[in-house]
Amino acid sequence: EPEVTQTPSHQVTQMGQEVILRCVPISNHLYFYWYRQILGQKVEFLVSFYNNEISEKSEIFDDQFSVERPDGSNFTLKIRSTKLEDSAMYFCASSVPRNTEAFFGQGTRLTVV
């Protein structure tokens, strides 16, 4: 069964460092998303991406964040200068058209120390 894969599963980084979270969406999907979930809290939307550009972003997705689809398969989230409050589980998701089910990866747990 096709699945969204994310690497790494866990990343520990020093405050102020840059991190890149990687995702391989399902191959025939067209819409890509990043969400985050702070421990014990709800799943929060960060950004959606379609046709090689950002479709929508939340207020959380400030200038410290960027996304890229560097080739035909990877979709990355970069955090330029991490803060303690960026510690969370980050989920990548993809969907075929946007108004159908989203398939989520298993997440990357980011810990900023």
Binding site for another protein (CB under 8 A): 4, 31, 33, 35, 41-45, 48, 50, 55-56, 58, 89, 91, 93, 98-107, 109
Give the residue with the Cβ less far from another protein, 24 or 89.
89
Instruction: Report the nearest approach of another protein to the CB of residue 77 (Å).
Output: 15
Give the residue with the Cβ less far from another protein, 10 or 15.
10
Give the residue with the Cβ less far from another protein, 83 or 98.
98
Please count the CA atoms within 13 angstroms of the CA of 56 that sit on its side-chain side: 8
3-state SS assignment for residue 85:
helix
Contact 96, 50 (CB under 8 A): no
Order the strands of the 19-24 sheet from edge to edge.
5-7, 19-24, 75-79, 65-68
Instruction: Report the nearest approach of another protein to the CB of residue 22 (Å).
Output: 15
